Chain A
């Protein structure tokens, strides 16, 4: 499978990609905090923020098509919650506020994750004092997502090539077996990884 579908453009070459990841992390946090705390009565602020983000996107050379697709993919989650605000009095304004705010925040997050490789982000987190155990777990998680996706795909291919005309009930059953099998294999892999870590002098 393609192993770069998560943060595909995080290794491009651009002024933004070259910035230290701590700056990018801090910057995105500031932008998001500012977006969240400012009321919608200052529309110019949101326009400026939106303009700034679009400018940053242009500088970062990430294809705008990709960013738009990402936004469209994530927008349903925003709308799913935002739709509830419409069911109350004065909901339209709140609806507009949260949709504008979250879309801009989403854009910020997409920009961050696609200009910063996750390993660098983890490095920054470790340097600013995240607990070592948590950083190790995050690194393992990120490292093995791809391996386990491959594993799951192989299991699924095997399942599909052996089952014909499943009913929905059987499908649930066999998919659950797949997930269970994936867990069993993950624990076995964890044992092997631990042995390998010890063999390399990990403490």
Chain B
């Protein structure tokens, strides 16, 4: 999801840069204001941890592998403001040292992965925790939030590419959303497994994240919400509201209406995100997304049940690691 330089135009760079600066500024102010200097090394080390955790490859199939993105983990473990700082620093270092993600595209990448992803997953996590209060509920909430955050961040990424005029919304939205619905599955499973592992060794680290003091008062919540809403209005809504009809017309006029649908880059069980009876790619993608969300939620429940039913299983591989 790291956008390299060259894909975004000036207005997108400036707009996302301003939004990210505002968000990061709020987070820095928030963490600095509470004068918990004890947390500064923790934030730095968590950033290094996320950086390294992204290098651990989880084998998927036939040589491919996935890795953790970590926004949800950071948000749930440290709270939203600290997570924004953690993810921003990871992205800055990745961009400046690895050239992974562009320098001028940094604002956009930070907006997607350091603001939208942690804030969105933290919000979903807190909401779900209101209903799912037990240990299993925590795992379910965390993995569902991880999936949602991955997909939503990808949608914002698609919005930025479309707003820059690089790729049409009708192409980039199904592709990005579709691919990241699959990537999000990996993220959800890994995040849940990691949470279960932490719960197995140091459960008190997890209790920390449900303590209400992490809820940092109303004003930053409002600022974060405002930033996300502005981003949504600028980057996503214009495409989503006007395009389904116009896009179909343009597509029909140019005779390529089936071209985007036959693209092989989005392999999926729901064939091309099209349900019978739903004509538009975008409507189909949205419907598939909703169904996908339901399925992911159900799967999270099953996985959490399996993990917690055999507590020994959850600890076994860990003990083999710990005995060194």
**Contacting pair A194 B38 (CB below 8 A):** yes
A14 to B254, CA, bound (A): 55
Is B232's CB within 8 Å of the partner chain A? no
Is B151's CB within 8 Å of the partner chain A? no
Is B210's CB within 8 Å of the partner chain A? no
Q: Number of contacts between A and B (CB, 8 Å)?
A: 270
**Contacting pair A134 B24 (CB below 8 A):** yes
Could you say which of B56, B168, B202 contacts A175, with CB atoms under 8 Å apart?
Answer: B56
List of A residues within 8 angstroms of B3 by Cβ? 81
List of B residues within 8 angstroms of A109 by Cβ? 5, 95-96, 99, 102-103
A7 to B8, CA, bound (A): 26
**Contacting pair B167 A85 (CB below 8 A):** yes
Q: Closest approach, in angstroms, between the C-beta of B129 and any C-beta of chain A?
A: 20
Given contacts A35-B5, A180-B198, A183-B49, contact A193 B193 (CB under 8 A): no
**Contacting pair B198 A158 (CB below 8 A):** no
**Contacting pair A159 B96 (CB below 8 A):** no
List of A residues within 8 angstroms of B324 by Cβ? 154-155, 158
* A residues neighboring B (CB under 8 Å): 6-7, 28-29, 32-33, 35-37, 70, 74, 77-78, 81-85, 87-89, 94, 97-106, 109-110, 112-113, 118, 121, 131, 133-134, 136-145, 147-149, 151-152, 154-156, 158-159, 162-163, 168, 170-184, 186-187, 189-191, 193-194, 197, 203
Q: Closest approach, in angstroms, between the C-beta of A14 and any C-beta of chain B?
A: 19
Could you say which of A100, A112, A137 contacts B47, with CB atoms under 8 Å apart?
Answer: A137
* B residues neighboring A (CB under 8 Å): 2-10, 13, 24-25, 28, 31-32, 37-38, 40-49, 51-53, 55-56, 58-59, 68, 73, 77, 85-86, 88-90, 92-93, 95-100, 102-104, 161, 166-168, 171-172, 175, 189-190, 193-198, 200-202, 205, 254, 256, 259-260, 263, 265, 313, 317-318, 320-324
Q: Give the nearest-CB partner of A29 in chain B.
A: B103
A199 to B96, CA, bound (A): 32
A115 to B40, CA, bound (A): 29
**Contacting pair A170 B317 (CB below 8 A):** yes
List of A residues within 8 angstroms of B193 by Cβ? 172-173, 176-177, 180
List of A residues within 8 angstroms of B4 by Cβ? 74, 77-78, 81, 102, 105-106
A143 to B48, CA, bound (A): 8
A98 to B105, CA, bound (A): 13
**Contacting pair A36 B99 (CB below 8 A):** no
A135 to B88, CA, bound (A): 11
Known contacts A112-B96, A184-B205; 15 additional CB pairs below 8 A are A36-B13, A84-B265, A118-B97, A131-B32, A137-B85, A147-B48, A148-B51, A172-B58, A174-B321, A178-B321, A180-B193, A180-B197, A182-B52, A186-B45, A197-B41
A7 to B25, CA, bound (A): 28
Main secondary structure of the interface of A (DSSP, over half): helix
A149 to B54, CA, bound (A): 11
Q: Give the nearest-CB partner of A192 in chain B.
A: B41
A186 to B198, CA, bound (A): 12
Q: Give the nearest-CB partner of A107 in chain B.
A: B99
Query: What are 18 sample pairs from A and B whose C-beta atoms fall under 8 A apart?
Result: A78-B6, A81-B7, A87-B171, A101-B5, A106-B5, A138-B89, A145-B48, A145-B51, A147-B48, A158-B324, A162-B321, A162-B323, A176-B190, A181-B201, A182-B52, A189-B45, A190-B44, A194-B37
A86 to B303, CA, bound (A): 39
**Contacting pair B89 A36 (CB below 8 A):** no
List of B residues within 8 angstroms of A134 by Cβ? 24, 28, 85, 88-89
**Contacting pair A141 B58 (CB below 8 A):** no
Given contacts A106-B99, A176-B190, contact A181 B259 (CB under 8 A): no
Q: Give the nearest-CB partner of A157 in chain B.
A: B324
**Contacting pair A74 B24 (CB below 8 A):** no
**Contacting pair B56 A94 (CB below 8 A):** no
List of B residues within 8 angstroms of A118 by Cβ? 93, 96-97
**Contacting pair A183 B99 (CB below 8 A):** no
List of B residues within 8 angstroms of A110 by Cβ? 99
List of A residues within 8 angstroms of B98 by Cβ? 6, 113
**Contacting pair B263 A101 (CB below 8 A):** no
Which of A88, A112, A147 has the most chain B CB atoms inside 10 A of its CB? A88
List of A residues within 8 angstroms of B201 by Cβ? 180-181, 184
List of A residues within 8 angstroms of B32 by Cβ? 131, 133
List of A residues within 8 angstroms of B102 by Cβ? 32, 102, 105, 109
A173 to B196, CA, bound (A): 10
A37 to B10, CA, bound (A): 7
Q: Closest approach, in angstroms, between the C-beta of B320 and any C-beta of chain A?
A: 5
**Contacting pair B166 A85 (CB below 8 A):** yes
**Contacting pair A36 B198 (CB below 8 A):** no
**Contacting pair B5 A32 (CB below 8 A):** yes
**Contacting pair A177 B317 (CB below 8 A):** yes
